[in-house]
Chain A
Amino acid sequence: MTLTAMIVKMSEGLGRTCAIFFLTLLFSLPLGLLVALMRMSKNRVVSAITSACISILRGTPLMLQLIAVAYGPFYLFGYTLLVKEKLLAIIIAFSLNYAAYFAEIYRGGIESMPVGQYEAAHVLGYSKGQTFMRIILPQVVKRILPSVTNEVITLVKDTSMAFTLAYMEMFSIGKQIANSQSSFLPFVIAGVFYYLMNSIVAFAMSRCEKALSYYR
């Protein structure tokens, strides 16, 4: 198999890699915010349960979580995942795992906000929701952007974990080629692909940071 043939074959999986990447971000970013708010809830039970979930999601490997979501239904209900449900399982596992990380980032950002911002808004008559959405959250987003960038870069690389479920994204295809051709080249190609994707991520995120640099 030629190098070009390998690259072509592997790039066919890039769509799926991107699907994991974008769908995970789409769900985990809002979910993370919700989890952060639950974690900071005044209700002790809600906050303790959320905290425990975050701790488990961050304290166990993503690969185990993938396996749990994919094969858990079989051991619990005797239900075997259909091939077309693989992506769903991957997105669920990834979104939960990343939501846990994002939640802690959001929480750090929210807790770093000076209390004076809340008080100024409160005296002006802003409701709690208005204060959060208009005054706090926009400033939090700016503060946490560097940490979010780190997670997003990790996510690009983590998409390769989907091979655990034999989901044919770019890396799994590469691994298959590597096995059948006894070649190391597919891994080099995968490395280049991830590096390129992360260069795009880094560029996009630095544009976001620039866009938010109009205030301090």
Chain B
Amino acid sequence: MNILEIEHCRKQFDGKEVLHDISLTVSEGQVVSIIGPSGSGKSTLLRCATLLETMDGGSLKYLGKSAVRDEGGRAVYASNAELHQLRSCFGLVFQNFNLFPHYTVLKNITEAPMLIQKRDKAEVYATARDLLSRMGLSDREDAYPYQLSGGQQQRVSIARALAMKPKMLFFDEPTSALDPELTGEILKVIRGLAAEHMTMVIVTHEMAFARDVSDHVIFMDGGVIVEQGNPTDIINNPTHERTIQFLSRFN
């Protein structure tokens, strides 16, 4: 089953088109990595998919349900109530975590499931504690974000997203704000999720990681998908000039 379907997505900022006709399908359990140079539109694509940015043209579906439909080249959004429903299909992990600083770790994770999804408090707390123990943070549930390292904060933010029981997760450069020695712990968590067949779309500059963890790699440049396919093929044997050029910088 397809969790996410984006077709012919177009997005412009101040008259300048930064996404040209992007299509992307993610099926259940699939891990897709998006790589590409700075300014190529990776974040914008993720922000369109997570409804943080409104696309100008194209369509967007979660689990076959339409969030955005294309009407003669124009993007038409579903009602706010429908979008609210669809938002629970996905979670987003930000580059700079965006934890709520005035909440404890536990409250960061438990508030939305109880408040938004109206789930039972005991169940939500059990889920949160389970997630925290999987993240190796069982002893930090009463800490405030400022008391945690960047890597720990990012693990909390992953737990916060997972606590909503989403069908898929988006990551926008989850390790870019971290010191190199903390990068590994986050990549390990994401690898663990991949092993459990969590559906994920990951924007990353970690090429080896993208190759190892994903089923599909997309190379974007200048707002278009230049090349995509099997991770080993793309990363080890790119065919397009721009992909070759981009990847040569990482070797």
CA distance A121 to B84 in the complex (A): 12
- A113-141 contact mask (Cβ, 8 Å, vs B): 1 or 0: 01011011111111000100011001100
Distance, CA A215 to CA B101, complexed state (A):
6
Inter-chain contact B94/A214, CB cutoff 8 Å:
no
Q: Which residues of B are found within 8 Å of A119, using beta-carbon distances?
A: 52, 94, 98
Contact, CB under 8 Å: A126 / B98: no
Judge whether A134 and B111 touch: CB under 8 Å.
Answer: yes
- Chain B contact residues, majority secondary structure: loop
Residue B92, interface by CB 8 Å:
yes
Q: Which residues of A contact B112 (CB under 8 A)?
A: 124-126
In this assembly, does A58 line the interface, its C-beta being within 8 Å of a C-beta of chain B? no
Say yes or no: A125-B116 contact (C-beta < 8 A), given A119-B52, A134-B111, A215-B146.
Answer: yes
Give the total of A residues in contact with B, Cβ under 8 Å. 20
A122–B91 alpha-carbon span in the complex (Å): 11
B84 touching A215 by the CB < 8 A rule? Answer: no
Q: Which residues of A contact B117 (CB under 8 A)?
A: 125
B159 within 8 A of A: no
Grouping DSSP codes into helix (H, G, I), strand (E, B) and loop, the A interface class, with mixed when no group exceeds half, is helix
Q: Are A216 and B101 in contact (CB under 8 A)?
A: yes
- Supposing A123-B87, A125-B112, A214-B144 touch, asked if A139 and B101 sit within 8 A by C-beta, the answer is yes
Q: Which residue of A is nearest B146, CB measured? A: A216
In contact, A126 and B116 (Cβ under 8 angstroms)? yes
Q: Mark B40-81, 1 if CB is under 8 A from A, else 0.
A: 000000000011100000000000000000000000000000
List residues of B whose CB falls within 8 A of some A CB.
50-52, 84, 87-88, 90-92, 94, 96, 98-102, 111-112, 115-117, 144-146, 157, 160, 164
Residues of A within 8 A of B (CB): 114, 116-117, 119-126, 130, 134-135, 138-139, 142, 214-216
Other contacts beyond A119-B52, A125-B117, A139-B101: 8, CB < 8 A: A116-B98, A120-B98, A120-B157, A123-B51, A123-B87, A123-B92, A124-B160, A139-B102
